[in-house]
């Protein structure tokens, strides 16, 4: 990762860490009780659409608020919808399912995996870990959860694209190093492509993030979609060849 990207990511992650601490002090249930145990309405609203188009091939984006598009006026502005548009422009007929749940951890992703893989899923984009890092969960737990998600998908002959995340620096350089290494280790062990930091070029750039300094704006989501598309396109081509 370029030094400017590391510095930008660090600024964003410091804000994330501060927000997490403030939430914990206020007694918010998002920190004390992981949201994956009670998915918000936005997540539940994806289920009818998924069932309606069950016969069409799918790409599922399994993630947290960065995937769900928290703070945007419409989920059509989030990167899953933007990727669906790119696919159609390129002549690929896929439904892209936004399986993002705000506040979700990698453990929540494991619990939601069976629903997420319903239907004719061809590719699973895994964008989890930001909330693991905010809560200081052990990197070993993150690794175990990601390995479960990836291996389960591969057993079902679903291609996987793994999106990496950075940990907030307040847990120390050792934690940051181990957290970052998890994604590389999972990708290497399970032979799946990896985008080391999917907020590359977005993190720390003021105009590409909302006023909280955390969640991407519509333009930031477009940047994320472009980053993912470079690795997603070859996977889709492999599926159709």
Domain residue ranges in the chain: 3-27+47-240
| Angle ∠(200,205,206) on CA atoms, nearest 5 | 150
Give the pLDDT of residue 22. 34
Q: Per-residue pLDDT tens, the chain, 241 aa: give them.
A: 444 444 555 555 544 544 443 333 333 333 333 333 334 333 333 333 344 456 789 999 999 999 999 999 999 999 999 999 999 999 999 999 999 999 999 999 999 999 999 999 999 999 999 999 999 999 999 999 999 999 999 999 999 999 999 998 999 999 999 999 999 999 999 999 999 999 999 998 999 999 998 999 999 999 999 999 999 999 999 887 7
CA dihedral 102, 77, 123, 185 (to 10 degrees): -50
DSSP state of 40: -
Q: Please, are residues 79 and 67 in contact by the beta-carbon 8 Å criterion? A: yes
Rounded CA-CA distance 141/146 in Å is 9
Around Cβ 141, how many Cβ atoms within 10 Å? 14
* Annotation marks residue 120 as catalytic: no
Fold of 3-27+47-240: Rossmann fold (3.40.50)
Around Cβ 212, how many Cβ atoms within 10 Å? 12
Give the pLDDT of residue 1. 44
Around Cβ 165, how many Cβ atoms within 10 Å? 27
Query: 127: closest CA among 171, 83, 175, 92?
Result: 83
Q: Please, are residues 173 and 131 in contact by the beta-carbon 8 Å criterion? A: no
Give the pLDDT of residue 11. 52
* Annotation marks residue 114 as catalytic: no
Catalytic residue among 65, 102, 106, 116: 65
Give this prediction's pTM.
0.82
Catalytic residue among 95, 104, 178, 215: 215
Give the pLDDT of residue 53. 59
Give the pLDDT of residue 238. 87
């Amino acid at each position: 990762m370029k030094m400017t990207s590391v510095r930008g990511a660090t600024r964003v992650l410091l804000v994330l860490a501060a927000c997490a601490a403030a939430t914990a002090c206020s007694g918010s249930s998002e920190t004390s009780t992981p949201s994956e145990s009670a998915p918000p309405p936005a997540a539940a609203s994806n289920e009818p659409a998924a069932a309606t188009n069950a016969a069409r091939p799918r790409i599922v984006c399994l993630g947290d608020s960065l995937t769900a598009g928290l703070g945007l006026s419409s989920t059509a502005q989030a990167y899953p919808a933007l990727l669906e548009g790119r696919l159609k422009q390129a002549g690929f007929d896929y439904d892209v399912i936004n399986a993002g749940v705000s506040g979700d951890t990698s453990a929540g992703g494991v619990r939601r995996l069976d629903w997420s893989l319903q239907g004719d899923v061809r590719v699973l984009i895994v964008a989890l870990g930001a909330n693991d890092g905010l809560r200081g969960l052990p990197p070993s737990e993150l690794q175990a959860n990601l390995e479960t998600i990836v291996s389960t998908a591969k057993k079902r002959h679903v291609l996987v694209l793994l999106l990496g995340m950075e940990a907030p620096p307040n847990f120390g350089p050792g934690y940051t190093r181990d957290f970052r290494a998890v994604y590389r280790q999972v990708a290497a062990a399970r032979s799946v492509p990896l985008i080391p930091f999917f907020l590359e070029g977005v993190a720390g750039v003021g105009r590409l993030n909302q006023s909280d300094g955390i969640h991407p704006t519509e333009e930031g989501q477009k940047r994320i979609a472009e980053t993912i598309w470079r690795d997603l396109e070859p996977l889709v081509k492999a599926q159709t060849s």
